[in-house]
Amino acid sequence: MERIKVLVVDDSAVVRQTLKELLDSDPQIEVMAVASDPLFALKRMETEKPDVIISDVEMPRMDGLSFLRKIMESTPSIPVVICSSKTESGSENALKAMEYGAVEIIQKPKLGTKQFLEESRVALCDVVKAAHLSKNKRRLPLAPMRDVAPKLTADVMLPKASGNTMIETTDKVVVVGASTGGTEALREFLEALPEDAPGIVIVQHMPEHFTAAFAKRLDSLCRVGVKEAEDNDTVIRGRALIAPGNKHTLLKRSGARYYVEVKEGPLVCRHRPSVDVLFRSAARYAGKNTVGVIMTGMGDDGARGMKEMHDAGAYTIAQDEQSCVVFGMPNEAIKLGGVDQVLSLSKIADTVVHKAR
């Protein structure tokens, strides 16, 4: 299989070198070139087109948003991944880039412990592969990665429920998982909900510090309230909680009250937050009172958790292939037999409201 050619654009020599080393460690990926600013990158693209571009947002001579617009105008088939700092301005610009057509956000890697760099490598390579799949709109066979730590399951965060969950309330709760393409899918889904929609908890694969800006942006657009989840937040009607980047978020229950637990933990299905962790907690503590939704994204995070919810009596929905940017996560859930209904993105909100009555 041909290697995925990546063009890295960043004004920091350290970041360029770090990204190149992390990406080149994967046998499926090849960094075809690095560039210190968009003008050098555009010149390089005259002789060779990359499969994926990784670009900073704040750069000299031409900013990343202007560069992204040029790419969207000239070669929109090339997926662009935004590599941004965790500053407030960096988060806002990264979200603007998603609205302009970027497919993913990653946080700039920093030198740190061996575990930190390994997690950065795994996440970065997965993002590049997901971006490449988004261009093709079809699932390609992926060769196994080299020297990757074992892929952990939700068992590391909480054990699977034994027997039927005892439900002490009839209130419904909605849990949603998404990855590549999910920022825009979630916006469309949440914008379509009425202000008295059932309480929602969402895991969107997104780096630390970006989820707060993402929630704030959605809150300004939607009739339901949207906020980044904090530990012990109550899940209430008319509000959506978004799991913070780099923290697992679990649904819990105390009597008739649903709330979230936000906690540290290892990568699960190579992600933190993990959809599987949220879905398993919903199966355990809400059972048949849950409506679960799995949206666009690469990989299988959420598939096993959705099957557990389905087996516990929840109503489960998967986004269909036609409306997905990447049909990986929904497809894996469907193959496991954990999905009750496959729907176009435009129909999910109405169905969720109906099933959560």
Active-site positions read 179, 205, 301
Sign of CA dihedral 267, 156, 327, 319: negative
What distance in Å separates the CA atoms of residue 39 and residue 198, rounded to the nearest whole number? Answer: 48
Reduced to 3 states (helix: H, G, I; strand: E, B; else coil), residue 13 is helix
What torsion, rounded to 10 degrees, do the Cα atoms 58, 64, 65, 71 define?
A: 180
Q: What does each C-alpha distance from 141 to 44, 120, 121, 232, 329 come to in angstroms?
A: 29, 23, 20, 41, 14
Q: Which two tokens stand for residue 161?
A: 């429920």
What lies within 8 Å, CB to CB, of 64 at 6+ separation is 9, 38, 55, 56, 57, 58, 82, 93, 97
The C-alpha angle with vertex 346 and arms to 342 and 348, in degrees rounded to 5, equals 50
What lies within 8 Å, CB to CB, of 135 at 6+ separation is 51, 52, 77, 78, 79
What distance in Å separates the CA atoms of residue 63 and residue 48, rounded to the nearest whole number? Answer: 22
Q: Which two tokens stand for residue 292?
A: 């679960």
What lies within 8 Å, CB to CB, of 87 at 6+ separation is none
What distance in Å separates the CA atoms of residue 232 and residue 235, rounded to the nearest whole number? Answer: 9
What distance in Å separates the CA atoms of residue 323 and residue 286, rounded to the nearest whole number? Answer: 29
What lies within 8 Å, CB to CB, of 80 at 6+ separation is 52, 53, 54, 55, 68, 71, 97, 101, 102, 103, 131
What lies within 8 Å, CB to CB, of 180 at 6+ separation is 103, 104, 127, 130, 131, 133, 134, 205, 296, 297, 298, 325, 326, 328
